[in-house]
């Protein structure tokens, strides 16, 4: 048996970062930049106003207060997107809106609230003058050209994962497209004569194929492109044919057929099509795990074969397929958020392997607590729907007792925890 970490290392050694592609920025969320983003523009391009108010020379309003109102001549108005061509000289002001370039000669903007503009409206006094009621510091409410970005700057570097804010920054630089590491296409095959696809009637003795869908959804969640090949019957010819269809993908994920049963022939078929490692991993669920390289007409595709039990498939995906997909995407941090929680349940470890138990984490009084979702059989897929984390029950112990501190790998991280 090999430890989880060793299995993961071997898998990661056999996958590499994919090539770059150019994508419209709106289609690149979650992808990794394959080039630096340099700026052809300065942001903001000109000194501009941070407030609606009056652009003035600070010297003109020195000493202004409620009891010492200073009146200035209003010589014009400027809105965002326009340039005021004249010049602000001592004793004058230009009415200015947020984002509008500060007129030549002005160095300070006095916001409306610090003028008598409202009073003038009420008593219909001339709008040719404005009374200033405060003395702000010099330069107040003026956003300097280039305070965000200067032309020529490298604003985002290769390797950056694009979040909404990076996509916004790319848009601010005028990028319509961005070069990113392309998403891996992940072929998915479920195996088993007992499987029937969704939407079909269910004959006696059969079950619906859930693994292909939970796996495909996990692939999507972590940024891959799932390609469900379908159900492979438990015979060599059918599996061989289907496996060839995976050769256009970047990786093949299969479920089932890697145990010791009479019909567990995935590993044999895979051996016919390349090299296959068949591992016993020191974990539960998910002990039998196949990993190999399919070879066909000069192409090589890595393959991960999960055990068929629905919980095993999902848990082994999280530990092994997820990091592999992330590596192909160009990501370097594969860790899932993990919290230390106080256990409110007893999680038994009966055979020493590291147990990934389904748990529900909640935060109370600034501490995390975790309790079992109930029966932990690896066929009980609804246990995953109740869980928001996998409780990592350490190997070579008799498990976790109530009150013990335990690490929980969070499956989801939404809301306040």
Closest CA to 232 of 201, 210, 260, 254: 254
The CA distance from 325 to 163, in Å, is 18
Pick from 32, 56, 72, 195: which binds ligand AMP (CB under 6 A)? 195
3-class SS of residue 57: coil
Q: How many residues does the chain have?
A: 417
| Residue 395 near residue 282, CB atoms below 8 Å | yes
Alpha carbon separation from 344 to 99, 121, 132, 394 (Å, rounded)? 55, 67, 65, 16
The nearest distance, CB 218 to ligand AMP, in angstroms, is 14
Helix locations, 72-128, DSSP H: 117-122
# residues contacting Mg ion (CB under 5 A):
4
Q: Which does 207 bind (CB under 5 to 8 A by kind): Mg ion, ligand AMP, none?
A: ligand AMP
Of 252-271, which residues contact Mg ion (CB under 5 A)? 256-257
| Binding flag, residue 256, ligand AMP (CB under 6 A) | yes
| Per-residue tokens: 225 | 């492109």
Strand partners, 356: 392
| Binding flag, residue 305, Mg ion (CB under 5 A) | no
Part in contact with Mg ion (CB under 5 A); list of ranges 70-78, 192-200, 310-318, 373-381 = 192-200
Taking the least distance from each CB to Mg ion, the nearer of 257 and 359 is 257
Site string for ligand AMP, 282-311 (x = CB under 6 A): -------------------------xxxx-
The nearest distance, CB 234 to ligand AMP, in angstroms, is 8
| Binding flag, residue 211, ligand AMP (CB under 6 A) | yes
# residues contacting ligand AMP (CB under 6 A):
20
| Residue 73 near residue 93, CB atoms below 8 Å | yes
Helices (H) and strands (E) in the chain, counts: 9, 27
The nearest distance, CB 38 to ligand AMP, in angstroms, is 48
The CA distance from 255 to 401, in Å, is 33
3-class SS of residue 297: coil
Residue nearest to ligand AMP (CB): 308
The nearest distance, CB 306 to ligand AMP, in angstroms, is 8
Pick from 42, 98, 111, 259: which binds ligand AMP (CB under 6 A)? 259
| Residue 252 near residue 304, CB atoms below 8 Å | yes
Pick from 103, 192, 224, 226: which binds Mg ion (CB under 5 A)? 192
Closest CA to 318 of 397, 371, 389: 389
Cis-peptide into 8, omega within 30 deg: no
The nearest distance, CB 25 to ligand AMP, in angstroms, is 37
Part in contact with Mg ion (CB under 5 A); list of ranges 248-256, 272-280, 283-291, 363-371 = 248-256
Of 339-398, which residues contact ligand AMP (CB under 6 A)? 379
Q: Which does 250 bind (CB under 5 to 8 A by kind): Mg ion, ligand AMP, none?
A: none
Taking the least distance from each CB to ligand AMP, the nearer of 253 and 325 is 253
Strands, E assignment, 18-105: 20-24, 37-38, 48-49, 53-56, 70-78, 92-96
| Binding flag, residue 288, Mg ion (CB under 5 A) | no
Q: Which does 309 bind (CB under 5 to 8 A by kind): Mg ion, ligand AMP, none?
A: ligand AMP
Q: Which does 307 bind (CB under 5 to 8 A by kind): ligand AMP, Mg ion, none?
A: ligand AMP
Going by C-beta distance under 8 Å and a sequence separation of 6 or more, which residues neighbour residue 191? Answer: 231, 232, 233, 234, 239, 254, 255, 256, 257, 266, 308
Binding interface with ligand AMP (CB under 6 A) = 190, 192, 194-195, 207, 209-212, 255-257, 259, 261, 264, 307-310, 379
């Amino acid at each position: 048996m090999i430890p989880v970490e060793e299995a993961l290392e071997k898998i990661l050694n056999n996958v590499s970062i994919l090539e770059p592609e150019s994508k419209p920025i709106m289609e690149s969320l979650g992808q990794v930049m394959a080039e630096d983003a340099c700026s052809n523009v300065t942001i903001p391009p000109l000194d501009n106003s941070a407030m609606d108010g009056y652009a003035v020379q600070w010297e003109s309003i020195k000493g202004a207060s409620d009891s010492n109102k200073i009146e200035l001549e209003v010589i014009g108005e400027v809105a965002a997107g326009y340039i005021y061509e004249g010049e602000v000289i001592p004793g004058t002001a230009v009415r200015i809106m947020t984002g509008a370039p500060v007129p030549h000669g002005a160095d300070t903007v006095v916001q409306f609230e610090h003028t008598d503009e409202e009073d003038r409206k009420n008593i219909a006094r001339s709008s040719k003058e404005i009374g200033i009621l405060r003395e702000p510091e010099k330069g107040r409410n003026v956003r300097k050209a280039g305070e965000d970005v200067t032309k020529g700057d490298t604003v985002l570097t290769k390797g950056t994962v694009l979040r909404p804010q990076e996509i916004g920054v790319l848009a601010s630089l005028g990028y319509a497209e961005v070069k990113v590491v392309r998403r891996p296409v992940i072929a998915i095959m479920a195996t088993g004569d007992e499987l029937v696809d969704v939407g079909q009637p269910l004959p006696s003795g059969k079950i619906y194929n859930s693994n292909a869908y939970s796996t495909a959804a996990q692939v999507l969640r972590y940024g891959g492109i799932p390609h469900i090949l379908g159900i492979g019957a438990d015979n060599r010819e059918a599996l061989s044919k289907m496996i060839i269809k995976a050769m256009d993908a970047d990786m093949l994920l299969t479920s089932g057929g890697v145990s010791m049963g009479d019909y567990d022939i995935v590993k044999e078929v895979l051996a016919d099509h390349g090299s296959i490692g068949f591992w016993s991993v020191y974990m539960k669920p998910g002990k039998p795990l196949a990993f190999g390289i399919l070879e066909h007409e000069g192409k090589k595709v890595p393959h991960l074969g999960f055990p068929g039990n629905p919980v095993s498939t999902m848990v082994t995906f999280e530990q092994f397929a997820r990091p592999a997909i992330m590596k192909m995407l160009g990501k370097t941090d594969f860790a899932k958020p993990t919290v230390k929680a106080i256990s409110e349940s007893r999680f038994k470890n009966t055979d020493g392997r590291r147990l990934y138990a389904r748990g529900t984490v909640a935060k109370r009084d600034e501490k995390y607590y975790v309790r079992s979702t109930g029966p932990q059989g690896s066929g009980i897929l609804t246990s995953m729907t109740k869980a928001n984390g996998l409780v990592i029950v350490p190997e070579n112990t008799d498990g976790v007792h109530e009150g013990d501190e335990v690490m929980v790998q969070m499956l989801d991280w939404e809301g306040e925890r």
